Amino acid sequence: MDVQWLLIIHGLLTLLVVVSFLCGQWPIFEGTPIQRIHYFLTFGAYDYFLRFVGSVFGEKAINAILSVEYFCCDRPNPVLQIIYLAIIGITYYFIAKSSFSYIPGYYLSGFHRSSRYTSLLGVGIGVFFFLLTSFADPGTVKAENVSQYQSAYPYDNIIYTEKECSTCKIPKPARSKHCSICNRCVARFDHHCGWMNNCIGERNTRYFMAFLLWHLFLCLYGIVALGFVLAGRLKELRVVYILTVYYGIENSFRKLAPHVVQWLLGSYNTQILLMVFLAVVSLLLASFFGYHANLCRTNTTTNETVKWQDHMNWLRKVNEARASAAALKASINGMSSERKPPDSKWKTFFRRSPLEDSGAVVKNNIYDKGILHNVWEVISPPSTRRSFLRTKSKSS
């Protein structure tokens, strides 16, 4: 029973950390412990660490850490790429060493006999998408193609207006941004991905989505396959039969589960740890893929999400200010006009506030042209089409 409760507590704590890290900044969690945990994980812990280092080792140690941070976070470097390759290589090694000998098994048919080759192929495809996303051109805006990108992405005069990049000294097409890490302007800029050591933009968003989806599939397949391996060993070794017949344990899930879990942890702890690791990674990949799939569905980028949020907040404040001014004017006019009998308390209580009638703020995204068109724009970016090349030849 102690082992069972430890696993439950471990799972709940893992879920709390993952939810806090991914979703702690959402408005729904404002003022809650989840928001405070999110702040601690993303900013607070590092800030406390710097203070501790400064108090113990002095300012030179802080400067050394900040220089390492600058190299790892603010400049292009292959650190996370190496970590990714190490993670996928080590995970594959432990899965192969601990579980391939049990395939085929009781629940895994002979179809999986070639798992050594198919799994290696699956990992190879994942590495291929990784390399493709890492080294593909994200859609670099240059003086030679800036006019074509301006034609492909017109200004909406809401979050994008005509201006010049102060670094590249060329006009900034709509939906582009100058990446301070890569030091270049990228069309339809989404974000800079440290794992890829590359920007995610117009030309490689499709590869990035394929990378996320394929790795999510690999993790889920690994969890299911390892689960079938453990279930097969449980059946082949007749563990339930031995527990009920020789140890006299009641044949019910509630009574058998703690003993079965204890046996699995003692005999197949590597597979259990691998399943937990793959489950956590699957949750992260599913969340990230779902978020970006929704962005592709609405033809929005991560960069534009922040811009739209700021613009919508500004519009709400403007509308509220107008409604407040109108309500104040109406109140002054009412005081100067003929006095009316006061409304009842119940009518006053249920009356709508003038701020509620300030009007709903509508997001006017001119780039959202329907799901099919939006998805096709990700699969076939404008700069890869013949019309883009024809525009280039006309401008030249």
The confidence score (pLDDT) of residue 114 equals 62
132 and 278 assigned to the same domain: yes
With CA atoms as reference, report the closest residue to 129 among 199, 201, 71, 210: 210
pLDDT band at 305 (very low <50, low <70, confident <90, very high): very high
State mean pLDDT over 97-122: 76
CA distance 234 to 252: 16
In a domain, 255, yes or no: yes
The confidence score (pLDDT) of residue 113 equals 59
Which residues are within 8 A (CB) of 298 and not within 5 positions of it... i.e. 6 or more apart? 365, 368, 374
237 and 267 assigned to the same domain: yes
The confidence score (pLDDT) of residue 372 equals 96
Q: Where are the beta strands (DSSP E) in 102-242?
A: 163-164, 171-172, 177-179, 184-186, 191-193, 198-200
4 and 131 assigned to the same domain: no
The confidence score (pLDDT) of residue 131 equals 97
Known catalytic residues are: 193
State mean pLDDT over 367-383: 95
In order of 114, 120, 259, the CA distances from 104 in angstroms are 9, 17, 26
SS3 of 201, please?
Answer: coil
63 and 199 assigned to the same domain: no
264 and 213 assigned to the same domain: yes
In a domain, 241, yes or no: yes
In a domain, 325, yes or no: no
Phi-psi region of 175 (alpha: psi -120 to 50; beta: other; left: phi over 0): left
* pLDDT greater at residue 358 or residue 109: 109
Q: What pLDDT digit, counting tens, does each position of 183-228 carry?
A: 999 999 999 999 999 999 999 999 999 999 999 999 999 999 999 9
Supply the pTM of this predicted model: 0.81
Q: What pLDDT digit, counting tens, does each position of 221-253 carry?
A: 999 999 999 999 999 888 888 888 888 888 888
Q: At what angle do helices 269-297 and 371-379 cross, to 10 degrees?
A: 110
In a domain, 36, yes or no: yes
Q: What pLDDT digit, counting tens, does each position of 64-77 carry?
A: 999 988 888 788 88
**End residue of a domain, out of 49, 74, 99:** 74
Mean pLDDT, all residues of the chain:
86
Percent of the chain with pLDDT over 90: 52
21 and 133 assigned to the same domain: no
pLDDT band at 12 (very low <50, low <70, confident <90, very high): confident
112 and 221 assigned to the same domain: yes
250 and 101 assigned to the same domain: yes
* pLDDT greater at residue 340 or residue 54: 54
In a domain, 44, yes or no: yes
Domain containing 110 equals: 77-140+147-155+190-308+365-395
In a domain, 170, yes or no: no
65 and 129 assigned to the same domain: no
* pLDDT greater at residue 334 or residue 117: 117
The confidence score (pLDDT) of residue 209 equals 97
115 and 97 assigned to the same domain: yes
Range with lowest mean pLDDT among 115-124, 152-161, 178-187, 386-395: 386-395
In a domain, 264, yes or no: yes
122 and 3 assigned to the same domain: no
In a domain, 349, yes or no: no
Percent of the chain with pLDDT over 70: 88
The confidence score (pLDDT) of residue 139 equals 95
**End residue of a domain, out of 74, 89, 113:** 74
Number of domains in the chain: 2
SS3 of 166, please?
Answer: coil
**End residue of a domain, out of 74, 104, 131:** 74
The confidence score (pLDDT) of residue 350 equals 52
The confidence score (pLDDT) of residue 21 equals 83
195 and 289 assigned to the same domain: yes
